[in-house]
Each structure stands twice: as structure tokens, then as C-alpha cells.
Structure 1
């Protein structure tokens, strides 16, 4: 079912007042890949009356007031991506298209949407608690470098004047907040919960103190130190409180909430999603973002790849949780009954599709290590299970009404090549590839790859050779294409020319999937960009900050 987004819908449901109103910078698409729909349905399944206001007009009260005053709180998210990334290109130009907006039009979400929406709610509902969540809030919870203004900004919790912030995927945290506010109407009780960030004027008695806002604003080495401490200490098994002074207040991060277990994850994705854009927003224009995910299935959550430029390990954690075969098959059967389904399941995956079924005894019992799981080589504690993943895909393909099952999520080719069952996986993957298999070597130069925490490009070529060989033997036209990033910290024109020569000599085509590195909050690469050092090795790094040169690096690959 759709959650209500108009007063008329609330009346039809027989509700007098909502318990919770969720506000998002995306259009309301009722699909589990959209965070606001996932959280909304989860809270509804626990008995709460939940409504959604998507992309409200932030210059008036016409949208923010249309569902009335909630009993418990407003929950605010900028949407599936950081609003600054959604609004600006890597060349600092305003985007003309927003795939998460009806009609694909830009300008429907404000810059720093989390702050703007929170201030909007506080203006018209000053006594209602405001809880921040989602990717933008999660990655901006401490003081952070903001590339768009080229300075360190304070925690989004302070700038937004919100009451609390939940970080990570946050289903259990936001449920516990709802239960406490319903029973006690006491925000202070919520400040004891795992997965919560809050502020206080008194220095915490225990925990790890990060370099202050003032320190990291003046000393870039301190900034790198703060990022390292955040990334290495934030794990539910380590149970560490982090705090950071900002002016005369302290931002306090409680230890993370434990990730959902398999049963909880199964139940979450089997909730009653429409897999459509809500009619209220569809009437304004088609939302392009639904096209690639409408009939996709999330099979795994979490990623231990921990690539320097990626925030997924920070947001979903490095703890991988895989759904059961039975749950995924049940979801696929539900999909076959959808009126728009044409027989193609477009993806079965997650942040990294072939981490399905993987495990690590060390990580699962003690938390993430100081070293990286996959860099400079794959840790011997990593237990892979590619055969289990292929078996799942085959079961899905046998379901009545399913003509094709594809894998469109990222594949870690180094994981596949290191598994004794990897050859079998690569061979069978041909059957689940829609023409082109997209892999992400990201670069070719060894030095840049080292800073990215990515495997040697020779492994990409080995995987490509094996995959395309199996495709030829099966009489199928299937190819591997690569994604690349330019202007990452460590890349000069020398490394850029190295990548250009690699593409010309080894690939024989000019890939379209080339992006310019964007220093978005919360990543190791952004810490490198701002500080000029690797936070984990203290090695000094060349950083290209000229927009002109950064653009030239991309253009150079097409010459």
C-alpha cells in the first residue's frame, strides 16, 4: 500500500492524526530502494500511523502543513543521495536533471536539504521533535569538509537545529525512538540509544574525543586524524562513544545499532511495497529513478570493500548480512504478480552483489580490523560463497513468470578470482548479464589504485578475459565494460596519461562511464583531498583542485 501523502488519504484510512511525518528530498516512490519508503513501511508495520511529504516547497507552509501536526515527531532526510551531489556536477555546475524528481526536472530540492527542511519544520511546528536521518545527515554528523564552500562545516545537527540524528540504516533506532516518545514523550531518554547522535553543553565523562571543530578547521592533519578515528572506531562490536567539541557544545555519537539480522532483513523487504511512484507525484511527471530499480531485489546489505571514495561502508557498515533464499524467492514471486512486470528481474544484489553469503569470523566477533579486508590483498579470514549466489539466481530463474534474472549491482572481480569456485561463478554469470557486465576498476595506475584501496588493474583484465571467453564458448555476445574515476587524490597528468594509454591499448574503446572525483562528506578520499595526506599512512599526496585541470583529465581520456 501507499503511505498517505495528502489529507484526503488520511481521512480514507480513518485516521484522525498521524504519529510520524517523514520528509524527503526525493519524490515519494514506494519501493524498498528508497529509504523513506523503507523506514515508513517499517514503522507502519509496527503499528504507527505514518505519512510522507516529498520535496516540499521550502518557501511557504503549503506543503509542510498539509498533513497537520504529528503526535510524535518529524523525520527528515535529504533523500537517497546528498543534496549537494544531487544538485551539482563534479565541475561545480548546477545539474539540469534530477532523476529523483517528477519529470526529471532540477531545482525541486534545496541545497543542504536536511538543514532547510529542519528549519522549515521548526518554523511552523516549533514544539514538535525533529529527527534527522538518511545518507546526507549520516555522513555530516560530525564537523566535515564541504567541497562546495571549500571549508569545514559544523555538524548538520547543529546547523539544522534538529533534536536528534540517527546514523546508518537506522530502522531499529528510529523504532526505539518512536516507542520512547510514545510512552514517555522524553527526548532525553532517546539520547541513551545506540545509533543516535545528540549534543550537550557538558563534556562526556567517557568515550574518545575527536579533534575539535576549531582544531580541524585550522589544522588539516587534525582533520585527517578525526576521520581515521571515526572510521576505525564506529562499529557496534567495539561499543565506543565518540564526541567532538564544536564551539561551546559537544556532538556525541553513541555506539552504532547492531545491524539487522537475517530474519529482520527478510521481513523488512517482504513488506507491502507498491513498486510505483505515488499517484500524487506521478501526476506531476514520471520519476526516472524508478526505471532501473522497479523490479530489482536487494539480497545483501553492507560492504567490506571500504573503497576510499565510497561512503557505503560508512552508512551500511562493513558487516554483511545476506537474506535467506526463501525470502528472496518469495519477493520474486510477489514481483511476478505486479501488473507492470514483464518477466525481467533487473538486479539481485546490493552494494556488492557477490558479497552475498560471505562471512568473516574476526569481523563478526570482534568488529572491523585496523587493516582493510580486501586491500592490499584479500584477507585470509574472508569466507566467500559464489556458488550459493549462483544457486540463488538459478532458483529465481525457475520461478513461473520470470523470463530473465540479471545482475546489475557491482561485482568485486578480485573476490571472484580469489575464490576456488570463482571460475564456475564467472562462467555462470554470463547467463545473468544483460549484454554488458559493468565492473569498476576505477583506475589503472598502481599508485592511484593503492590510494583508492582498489585491486591491481591486472585482475580486472583477467576477469574480463575469462568472462568474455566463457561468453564466446556459450555463443553469447557479452562484454565487460569498465567504470573509471579521474582527478582522485594522487593523480597527476602522468597518472592520467597512464590511464589513457591503458584504455587505448588494453580496452580498445573509449568508455563512457568516466566520472570526475567529487569530494563528498564522510569518505577517506575526501579527507585526502582536504588534508593532502592519507589518513591511515600519513603519506603526503598530490591533490588536483583546479576545476579546469580536473575537467581536462576527463577530456584527455577521449583524445
Structure 2
């Protein structure tokens, strides 16, 4: 594993220096250019380069005209367009649809360097810049919008992004293998309109007579006018997102069919190693230095991705629709080599910030059955309780951590990408739990129970409250045994489907009981591709057919959020109004169980309240 000293070309001067007269592919992206394996643009660019193709980067082009889109000339094979590591609308707006103030993926954290619905805008400009050049879209924005989808910001159902962007092909999921196959087809002379059998892609067609063994889901027109139909469509789509048994999925849009080919075959461990062993510069391009660089690099610069995928399948997370439920991991040698490389970087202080993935302690497939027949179609691995076939074993992950933490020049290896407590607590071997607390926590462990109401947890697809309580008890037992003074930081979510004021108050009472005041609370954010978003829009759980209460009025959302931060004097009026509305005036008073006093307390000077980030038993 080596550090590259040369970025992919971003200008004509770079092309001249490299003696490149024409690029094979040009990547247009909504993020600033960071050549690090935590960023999709870098991975796809380096993957194509490794296959012998020439690749250029147009990062955050000025979309007011076509000039920036002509910056690197006409590509031989096509433009590859993405909005960046985050959906551009999520990047721009909070859950209350207010403009964000910072963009961690832009120079100096400035906003305004990419448009709303970036993929659509970029595709339009690229088409204007060069007629008849194939346009292929990918990344998170395209992947999660590949079918007709509910759009929270427009509050309506929008068409497949492939149709709206007028692109020629959409690559969904993690696209290394797909983009290599596509690039080689171009190389051998195939035109984009003939590329209709590539796994991991979506294309549009007037005819589907040649298709065999496919699932047709309700049309865009049908799901736009009927919420029950929308829910059914989502269910059918989600059941086919497995690389072994997934079928082709078709959805009609007016006079055309959007055709999703089966998911790309999961990367082997060797292929994962190759992807992360490619020669990245591992930093942002020096053109951003004048503005202080790109903030997004700070979180990942000294972190290591150990695997992809997640079999946790939380309803509010679209990861299973993008990366899938099957774990794809790197070898220990590849990860150890990267750890050694990090120790050579100039800013390294001896601390590896993370070795993990979407969920840190999922290092292998959920069960042996998945290897042969794929993931279960109508059954989850973790919910409502761990499947009897689930392999609960931290041995290999612990072995990896032990090897990394004894490397020369490494003082500490932290785990920050999230521990699934509802997996860890069922491991009969407590050695990993003990060493996690002893060696891999920076004073506090962050976990995500999200809620404590079983009614809400059922809609979230998460384990019941008693599982979290077991974990908390065990955590502090180990902490005491180690004579540590460490804390636990629970992530909590307000306004998720299924949560009414009564359930929010239950969570507030739990917060009161544990003596913890969360500084930050995540409001549920309805983003494309998640089960929870479908429930939010339709009021129906598509898998159980039950009607679900959805807090979609902003006033109630504000109340639910305020209830979780009831100690904040600024929230007093909202909390009191919520308690009265829910007929819980018993929680207004001065006794131990009360959330707020009968009237605002008079505080001289600046209001002060508990901003504790953690709690301790």
C-alpha cells in the first residue's frame, strides 16, 4: 500500500503534463475533490485508473453555464455524474427544511458550491456542453432514487432520477465492479444503448418483451395517486435487493419502462482489498488550501473502513437499499497495512480514530445460509430478536484490533462507527465487550437505542427496550470491574413514525430517570430509499399492512424534540403545551418525577441547564 503523490487530473494543464490528449471518463461531482477511499469519487476514479483508463475530475462546477463542464474537453466514453457523498437535498436542508449553514464537503465548509438536485442539474449542463456523450449517474443520490420515490422536500412522488436527469444509465449500490464491466464494454466498442444486461444498473426502455423472470411493480402514475399502491411497490422493490436471488424489477413511467437489473455480485475479500489498497493521495486537492481545506477529511483521515453492508436493517436507514444486507469485508492484512501507512502521515498523532463500517462489530455474514441462497426474503437477522441462524461472534474482529493496537507508533485504536449493542449483548463470550471498554473507548461509548418505546421500536425495526437495558447494565458492570470512569452516550430520535406525544413522553421520563440530558437529538428525516420514509408518506407499514401514526405537523415535531430536551428553558412552553395536550399534567410540578415546574424558573443572567453529553450509573 502506497501514498500517491499525484491527484487525478482536474485541468487541461494536468492533461498536458501527463501527455493525455483525451480522457476516457470524466467524473462530475458535487463534493470538493478529496482523494481518499472514504469518498465515492476517489474510489471510482482510482478503480478505473487501475484498469488502464484515463479519468479526470470536475468537482463542484459552476452550474450557471456550461464552461466548467468543458474544462477537461470531451470524454471518449462518457461522463460519470454524482452529487457527492450525501444526497444534495439532505446536504442543503435540515429536517425542518431550513437551509444549513455549513457544508463539510466544500472548501472551508462554505455553502453554495453545489445546486439542489445536483445530479439533474449536472446532467443537463453536461448534455449542453457535449451532445451525444453518454451520461452515467451514480452515488447515493442516484442509487436511492432509482425508482419512483416520495420526495420530502417537494412533498410528492417524483419519477426515477434516471428519467428526470435524462441520463443514459444509472449505477446503483457500490459501483466498482459495475463500472469496470461498463468501461470494458465501451472499450470493446459497445454503445451505451446496448448495455442492458449489466448487474447493478438501471436503464430505460420502450419495450420489455425480451425480459425474462422479472417483477413488475406498480407504475409511477399509480404510486403517485394511491398511497397503498406506493407502499406495495416499495415492498416489492425491497424484496429483490439481494445479489443471489434478486430478480429484475420493472416500473413503468408513462410510455417507458425503468428496468433495474439484479444487484451486482458482492465483492470478494480480495476485491475489497484491491479497492482499498489503491494508491490514493489520502487528502484534499491543494487548490482548496487557501480556504482552509475540506472539513470532511478530518473525521476520516485516520479512520479505516474494514467492511461494507449491514444486516441490522433499521427501518430509517437506507443502507440496505444501497450497500445491501450482506457483509463484504477486507482481510486483516489489508487493514493492518493501512494502519501502518497511517502512522507515516505527517499529521498522525498516534491515534486510529476508527476501524469499522456502517456497524463496527459486523465483520462477517450474518449466517452460512446467506452464502448459498442469499438473505432471507421475509425475515430479518436481528429483529424482532436475533435469528437462530445468526452467527454472533466477535473473535475475528477482536483479533484484528489486538494486532493493530500493538503496531509501532500507535497509541490507541478507537471505535467510533457505532457498536450494535443488540448484537454484542447476545455474545456469550464477553472478551470483546471487556476489551472494547478497556482499550477502544475515548471516555465514552456511543450507541443508538433511538427510542425506548416498544411501539416505536417496532416501526424502527429495532430490539425492545429490555435488550438495551441489559446492555447498559453489563456495560457499567464491566466499567466498574475495570475501575474506569467511562460514560455511555445514547443517540435518540424524535418524531419517527409510530411516535405520538405519549411515546415521546415515555422517552422523556426515561431520560429523567437516567439523569441524562441529550445535547443533540436527531429528528427523523424522511430520505429516499428507507422503509421509514415509506411509512411516513403512506401511514402504512408495507410489510405488516398496519396503519401507523405519523407525526408530520411541524408543531408536533417541535414538541417531540423539545420533550427530549425538557431541561432547556427555551423549550419550556413547548414541553408544557405537549404535556397538557397529552393529559400528562402530573409531570408538571416539583417532585422527582416531574419534567418541568408549574411555571418557568427565574434565572438571573444567562439561562443555564444541563448539557451533559453522557450519563453514568
TM-score, structure 2 normalization: 0.89
Q: Per-residue deviation at 1:282?
A: 3.2
Q: Which residue of 2 aligns with 1:217?
A: 224
Deviation at 1:185, TM superposition (A): 4.1
Counterpart residue number, 1:538: 545
1:159 to 159, 164, 167: 164
SS of equivalent to 2:119: helix
Write the mapping of 1:356-435 to structure 2, written as runs, cut at 5 A. 356-369=363-376, 370-421=378-429, 423-430=430-437, 431-435=439-443
Q: Secondary structure at the match of 1:89?
A: coil
1:6 maps to 11
Q: Work out the CA distance in 2 between the residues paired with 1:87 and 1:175.
A: 32
**1:290-305 to 2 correspondence within 5 Å?**
290-305=297-312
- Asked whether the equivalents of residues 92 and 100 of structure 2 are also in contact (C-alpha less than 8 Å), the reply is yes
**Which segment drifts farther, 80-89 or 233-242?**
233-242
Q: Deviation at 1:548?
A: 2.1
Deviation of 1:30 (Å): 1.1
C-alpha separation between the residues in 1 aligned to 2:183 and 2:57? 16
8 Å Cα contact 1:91/1:551 also seen in 2: no
CA distance in 1, matches of 2:120, 2:294: 24
Q: Tell me, in whole angstroms, the C-alpha distance in 2 between the residues paired with 1:42 and 1:268.
A: 7
The C-alpha deviation readout for 1:519-549, integer Å capped at 9, x for no partner, is: 1001100110111110100000111111121
Equivalent position of 1:127 in the other structure: 132
**Which digits, 9 at most, give the CA deviation of each residue in 1:215-237, with x for residues without a partner?**
10111011011111111112121
Q: Tell me, in whole angstroms, the C-alpha distance in 1 between the residues paired with 2:226 and 2:372.
A: 36
The residue number in structure 1 matching 2:603 is none
Which of 482, 492, 498 pairs up with 1:490?
A: 498
Q: List 4+ stretches of structure 1 deviating above 6 A.
A: none
Quick one: distance in 1 between partners of 2:413 and 2:16? 41
* Residue of structure 2 aligned with 1:310, choices 314, 317, 333: 317
Q: Quick check: 1:190 aligned with 2:195?
A: yes
Is the CA contact 1:358–1:385 (under 8 Å) kept in the aligned structure 2? no
Shift of 1:464: 2.5
Provide the residue aligned with 1:481 in structure 2.
489
C-alpha contact (below 8 Å) 2:425/2:471 kept by paired residues: yes
Q: Secondary structure at the match of 1:63?
A: helix
The question of whether the paired residues in 2 share the 8 Å contact of 1:356 and 1:385 is answered with no
Q: CA–CA distance in 2 between the matches of 1:273 and 1:401?
A: 22
Measured in 1, the distance between the counterparts of 2:523 and 2:366 equals 33
Displacement of 1:358 in angstroms is 4.2
Contact 1:410 1:439 in 2 (8 A): yes
2:228 aligned counterpart, secondary structure: helix
1:276 is aligned to 2:276: no
3-state DSSP of counterpart to 1:418 = coil
Matched, 1:203 2:208: yes
How many positions carry a matched residue from both structures?
Answer: 557
Pairing 1:29–2:37 present: no
Shift of 1:239: 4.0
Structure 1 contact 426–466 (Cα < 8 Å) conserved: no
Q: Which stretch shows the higher mean deviation, 137-146 or 182-191? A: 182-191
Match of 1:74 in 2: 79
Query: Which residues of structure 1 form unaligned runs of 5+?
Result: none
Matched, 1:459 2:434: no
Confirm whether residue 42 of structure 1 aligns to residue 61 of structure 2: no
Q: Distance in 2 between matches of 1:513 and 1:393?
A: 30
Separation (CA, whole Å) in 2 of partners of 1:471 and 1:69: 60
How far apart in 2 are the matches of 1:285 and 1:62? 26
Q: Which of the residues 39, 57, 62 maps onto 2:67?
A: 62
* 1:445 alignment partner in structure 2: 453
Deviations 1:137-169 (A, max 9, x none): 000000000010111000000000110001000
Secondary structure at the residue paired with 1:227?
helix
The reply on whether 1:518 has 2:525 as its aligned counterpart is yes
CA contact 2:36–2:282 (8 Å) conserved in 1: yes
Structure 1 equivalent of residue 91 of structure 2: 86
CA contact (8 A) 1:243 1:250 kept: yes
Tell me, in whole angstroms, the C-alpha distance in 1 between the residues paired with 2:253 and 2:369: 35
Q: Partner residue of 2:346?
A: 339
1:246 is matched with which residue? 253
Superposition deviation, residue 477 in structure 1:
2.7
Matched residues in 2 for 1:119 and 1:380: separation?
51
Correspondence for 2:176: 171
Distance in 2 (CA, whole Å) between partners of 1:437 and 1:261 is 31
- What CA deviation, in whole Å up to 9, does each residue of 1:436-466 have, x standing for no partner? 2110001110000001001112322322232
Kindly state the Cα deviation for residue 413 of structure 1 after the two structures are TM-superposed: 0.5
Once the two structures are TM-superposed, the CA of residue 283 in structure 1 deviates from its matched residue by: 3.1
Larger radius of gyration: 2
Whole-Å separation in 2 of the counterparts to 1:313 and 1:512: 29
Cα-to-partner distance string for 1:320-378 (whole Å, 9 max, x where unaligned): 12211111111111111112211111000000110013441222211221111110001
- SS of the residue 1:439 aligns to: strand
Deviation at 1:473, TM superposition (A): 2.8
| Alpha-carbon distance between aligned partners in 2 of 1:102 and 1:443, rounded to the nearest angstrom | 36
Cα distance in 2, alignment partners of residues 119 and 472 from structure 1: 60
CA contact (8 A) 1:375 1:454 kept: yes
Contact 1:357/1:384 (8 A) holds in 2: no
Distance (Å, rounded) in 1 between the aligned partners of 2:81 and 2:557: 34
Cα gap change, 1:479 to 1:358, in 2 (>3 Å):
farther
Q: d(CA) in 1 for partners of 2:285 and 2:483?
A: 43
Output the CA distance in 1 between the equivalents of 2:546 and 2:487.
38
C-alpha separation between the residues in 1 aligned to 2:460 and 2:529? 14
Most deviating of 523-532 and 331-340: 331-340
Contact 2:353 2:416 in 1 (8 A): yes
1:18 counterpart residue number? 23
- 2:175 & 2:268 partners in 1: Cα distance? 13
Shift of 1:14: 2.2
> Aligned to 1:36, what secondary structure does the other structure show?
helix
